[in-house]
Chain A
Amino acid sequence: MTAPHAASPTPSTKTPPTPDRIQVIVATDCGSTTTKAILIELVDGHYRQTQRGEAPTTVEAPFADVTLGVTNSVTELQELSGRRLIADDGTVIRRTSLTDPNGCDVYISTSSAGGGLQMMVAGVVRQMTAESAKRAALGAGAIVMDTIASNDNRKPHEQIQRIRELRPDMVLLSGGTDGGDHKKVVELAELIAPAKPRPRFGGEYQLPVIYAGNKDAAPAVARVFGAGFDLSIVPNLRPTLEAENLGPARDRIHDVFLEHVMAHAPGYDKLISWADAPIMPTPGAVGDILQTIARKRGINAVGVDIGGATTDVFSVFDGVFNRTVSANLGMSYSISNVCAEATMPRIMRWVHLPMDERELRNRVKNKMIRPTTIPQSLEALVFEQAVAREALRLSYEQHKAFATTLKGVQQQRTVGDAFSQQAGGGTLVNNMKLDLLVASGGVLSHAPRMEQTALMLIDSFEPEGFTELAKDSIFMMPHLGVLASVHPDAAMEVFEKDCLIFLGTCVAPHGEGKPGKQCFSWTLSGARSAQGTMAVGEMQVLPLAHHESCEMSVSPEKGFDMGAGPGKPVTRTVRGGTVGLILDARGRAITVPDAENERRATIQKWLTALRVYE
């Protein structure tokens, strides 16, 4: 766990202009499928996002040059804005003066293309130092390929074999508290070094190893790795059992990402030279922005970014930030894996249209092998959104299991705790305490109707109590995360005005009941006055516009909880949005009938209530 911590990329050799010299900004995010460009301009004294463009990412042969996708996406900005942004040689044009009608003042970028940053982490105890190391790697924006620990139930030779098979971009090794035992962490080093893992980009590239364990063991670890590895030693990420210090390890991961990994990826040397600020891993930038929102508003927030290959979940509960990457849960490259992990019946439970399963399986595979295609028909869209629900649900399950209190910490308990002992390692994620759920990633951000995004979020995350729902309008959070490192005010202004689109507030009690029986009664006052009741299994939308808010009192029936305890009323200020106020009396967990006709009718009822596919 770590307190909010700004990702700090390697200092660029370039010095970006000072904020007062920045009026036109081009930012790109090179995703695994699509490269997305946005244009931000100073309009009437305010920074606004004015245009967007996108193009397929071009890391694959025969192009093998990420900058082609950048040029193509920025060319779209150029066509739409009328401002010349791309020079004849394909580079991004800079303005010569503040009155120059062509070019931009700053060009910045994030990247997750090329599979992102892939790491192997190792720690002595799986639930303690290894988990802290994993948190550091994930917080830096990495995909963790495997976690090796002394107690991971694999025999040493099996661990060595596994290390040999992996081709990570870098290794993070931790273990032992400062001043504690150092034998075990040296033993881990002795497993990794002879395994000689080969780096993903091969060749003469020496595999970077970051050591962030017991400081007393550092000399012995250095002796074990010797020549043949690019070893760097940073302060222990778990100096005591009670504390994590992930910052130094995370910063070093960013440095190595830029110095080694990016330098070997196709075309990244050019991209680095084009940009006015260091290229940040996309998830690192998103994490920075989410922490900023949570801190400024004093709320608990969850953000999700569902991409082509992976789904990232970010959470901030009581000021503690966590990020997980579900490596093979995505909507294009990994869509087939989502279907395999979730199973087809669980996906089909969200589909109200008749579909042939065999045909769907072929379509899934065709999406996997041609990942940049998009659904053209309504039927294809309904199916993709059903897959998305399961990818999101599985990713959130993984996040809840990972975002926990520190394990291994000695707990002081009193007699009063005897019946409510919370062991170390309890999840920090509490859907009842969740205030804001932010969606991003193609299938959520590009859904044709806001109602679709809202229902996908509710079905997969199952928020409880009162939860604001928002979406990143055009997946701008990565761009703004890196912009914040150059021009923080512009980043926050665009974030508030153009980035988040508030969908509304979901009002959903926790509990189970018999369908048709009353679930809760409600009263609205203030901007709008109304009252009513909801039966178990029902959904309803009340109009409440984006800038409106009002007081809402909810009285749940016995067995249902809105946050104050079963059957106890709660009054809150609720915020409107493009969808409105969503009353969800389906209970938690959400279930659908087993019988096919009944199931489809139930789904159709919910879709109709929310006007999802009108």
Chain B
Amino acid sequence: MAKAFTPGLTVTARTTYRARRVLPITGDVLVARGAQVKADTVVAQTFMEGDAFPMRAANILSANPKDLPGLMLKKLGDTVAKDEPIARSKGIFGLMKTEVKSAADGVLESISDATGMVIIRGPQHPVAVQAYVSGEVIEVIAGEGVVIENAVALIQGIFGVSGETHGPIAMANAAAGDTLDESHITAAMKGCVVIGGARMTAAAIKKAKTVGAAAIVSGGIDDQDLRDFLGHDIGVAVTGSERTGITLIITEGFGDVAMAARTFKLLASHSGRVASVNGATQIRAGVMRPEIVIPLDAAHHGSGGGPAAAAGGAVAGMLEIGTSVRVIRDPYFGVLGTVAALPEQPAVLGSGSRARVLEVATVDGSRITVPRANVEVIDG
């Protein structure tokens, strides 16, 4: 019975990664099954319907909506230019006619004789979907997109901002506990996924953006620095659409916190290889965590033993005696150890609350008691 369940994040040296790359609406798939694609290969494209521009035409003409169809100068489906007259009133004895001019370039989509509203549909927006991760197209979803597969090293971060990008991994810090500051950022990191150790400073972010780095991945970030960078506070963790020019991912949490040593080691072992990263985070329904995906070459394909060959990140699983865990809440935030005991009865915490707890034998030899809710399982 001494088991409990805890969710966690994936950090693995080798796993099979499938990227489902689909258009938001139907369109054309540009690659065939079996094709090898790179991260920036456009695999599908389409055109999104243009913006709709409603116009109260009958009101403008001071006409009854029922009479509007008879006053139209253009018919449904006609192409119209901005400011081109599309309807005209009969005027008084043929004089003092009023016109309705198109609000935009587009096509006349609807004329309502119930409300007198006319809708102009603006030009279509082109939408292209890139592969994001290099690999083989293993499935073509007709009219929608593709599924790309590759053997990869995969690291899920805890939080990120800005969306997809890719670039070679550049190690900026020598150790997982080192703070990433501006002195570690060089011009050679242009287009790179920069890996820091502990906290990324505001100056480091600024300089990385200046040199044109694609992304920064580090253990932590100070909330104040993130707010200064974004220009606003983040109220809820739904990110990815920011247009910051650089993607930021933290692997551990906010504050001055070191990257898990084994995560750092895994990233360092792939220094120079191209990684695809996505900072999009959604800690709500259908939770999405940011990720670093490193496609492996042929030599790597044969190594390791699949997802089980994990490199020490948090994983979902059962808490049992001996399970490696990390504490994820103060006052022991970041402490690593193994589960030493799983008492069944709730215990009284320092806060006075009663909660189910576990005892952790920490790596420095001490023993602490923490709520079960405040640990995550990591692969040992």
Contact = CB atoms under 8 A, between A and B. Distances in A.
Interface of A: 32, 55-56, 58-64, 68, 72, 79, 113-115, 156-157, 160-161, 182-184, 186-187, 190-191, 194-196, 198, 200, 220, 265-266, 309, 328, 333-334, 336-337, 339-341, 358-359, 361-378, 380-381, 446-449, 613
Contacts of B115: 183-184, 186-187, 190
6 contacts: A183-B116, A190-B54, A194-B52, A358-B224, A369-B283, A373-B329
Q: Give the most central of B52, B226, B352, B353: most A CB within 10 Å.
A: B52
A160 B51 contact: yes
A359 B257 CA distance: 12
A72 B377 CA distance: 17
B110 A337 contact: no
Contacts of B235: 328, 334, 336-337, 340-341
Nearest to A115: B285
Interface residues of B, number: 64
Interface in B322-354: 328-333, 344, 349-354
B223 to A, nearest CB: 4
Contacts of A336: 233-237
Contacts of B53: 157
Given A336-B235, A365-B234, A376-B371, 15 more contacts: A160-B52, A161-B51, A186-B115, A190-B112, A194-B119, A220-B114, A361-B223, A361-B224, A366-B254, A369-B281, A370-B376, A373-B374, A380-B331, A381-B352, A613-B352
Contacts of B39: none
Contacts of A194: 52, 54, 109-110, 119, 121
Contacts of A377: 330-331, 349-351
Contacts of B114: 182-183, 186, 220
A361 B227 CA distance: 11
A368 B159 CA distance: 10
A114 B65 CA distance: 44
Given A194-B109, A336-B235, A370-B329, A375 B353 contact: yes
A61 B116 CA distance: 48
Contacts of A114: 285-286
B330 A340 contact: no
Contacts of A371: 283
Contacts of A340: 233, 235
Nearest to B5: A72
Given A157-B51, A377-B351, A370 B285 contact: no
Contacts of A363: 254-255, 330
B373 interface: yes
B254 A362 contact: yes
Nearest to A80: B344
A337 B236 contact: yes
A200 B238 CA distance: 14
Given A187-B115, A194-B52, A369 B285 contact: no
Interface of B: 1, 5-7, 10, 24, 49, 51-54, 56, 65, 103, 109-110, 112, 114-117, 119, 121, 158-159, 222-224, 226, 233-237, 253-255, 281, 283-288, 316, 328-333, 344, 349-355, 370-371, 373-374, 376
Contacts of B119: 190, 194
A378 B349 CA distance: 9
A223 to B, nearest CB: 8
Contacts of B331: 376-377, 380
A192 B5 CA distance: 44
Nearest to A34: B373
A61 B287 contact: yes
A336 to B, nearest CB: 5
Contact of B7 (A63, A198, A341): A63
Nearest to B8: A62
A50 B304 CA distance: 49
Nearest to A371: B283
A265 B10 CA distance: 23
Contact of A186 (B112, B332, B333): B112
B221 to A, nearest CB: 9
Nearest to A163: B52
A334 B284 CA distance: 10
Q: Give the most central of B53, B103, B223, B353: most A CB within 10 Å.
A: B223
A55 B6 CA distance: 9
5 residue pairs, one from A and one from B, having the closest CB atoms: A337-B235, A60-B287, A448-B352, A115-B285, A381-B351
B316 A62 contact: yes
A378 B351 contact: yes
Nearest to A116: B285
Contacts of B159: 365, 369
A266 B285 CA distance: 9
Contacts of A370: 158, 253, 328-329, 376
Nearest to A185: B115
Nearest to A266: B286
B7 A366 contact: no
A359 B222 CA distance: 9
Nearest to A182: B114
A374 B353 contact: yes
A428 B115 CA distance: 37
Contacts of A367: 329
Contacts of B253: 362, 365-366, 369-370
A266 B115 CA distance: 42
B285 A113 contact: yes
Contacts of A381: 351-353
A359 B255 contact: yes
A328 B234 CA distance: 12
A56 B51 contact: no
A328 B10 CA distance: 28
B330 A333 contact: no
A190 B110 contact: yes
A191 B109 CA distance: 12
Contacts of A68: 5
B12 to A, nearest CB: 12
Contacts of A200: 285
Nearest to A358: B224
Contacts of A198: 24
Contact of A376 (B116, B222, B370): B370
A247 B75 CA distance: 43
B104 to A, nearest CB: 9
Contacts of A373: 328-329, 371, 373-374
B323 to A, nearest CB: 16
B352 A79 contact: no
B112 A366 contact: no
B350 A190 contact: no
Given A183-B114, A446-B353, A196 B237 contact: no
Contacts of A266: 286
Nearest to A155: B54
Nearest to B369: A376
A322 to B, nearest CB: 25
B254 A369 contact: yes
Nearest to B282: A60
A371 B116 CA distance: 50
Given A60-B286, A186-B114, A366-B329, A374 B254 contact: no
Contact of B54 (A156, A182, A369): A156
Contacts of A447: 353
Contacts of A183: 65, 114-116
Contact of A157 (B52, B285, B370): B52
A119 to B, nearest CB: 14
Contacts of B223: 358, 361-362, 364-365
A63 B316 contact: yes
B163 to A, nearest CB: 16
A364 B226 CA distance: 13
Nearest to A334: B236
B349 A368 contact: no
A236 B286 CA distance: 35
B242 to A, nearest CB: 15
Given A55-B5, A114-B285, A341-B235, A191 B54 contact: yes
A186 B114 CA distance: 7
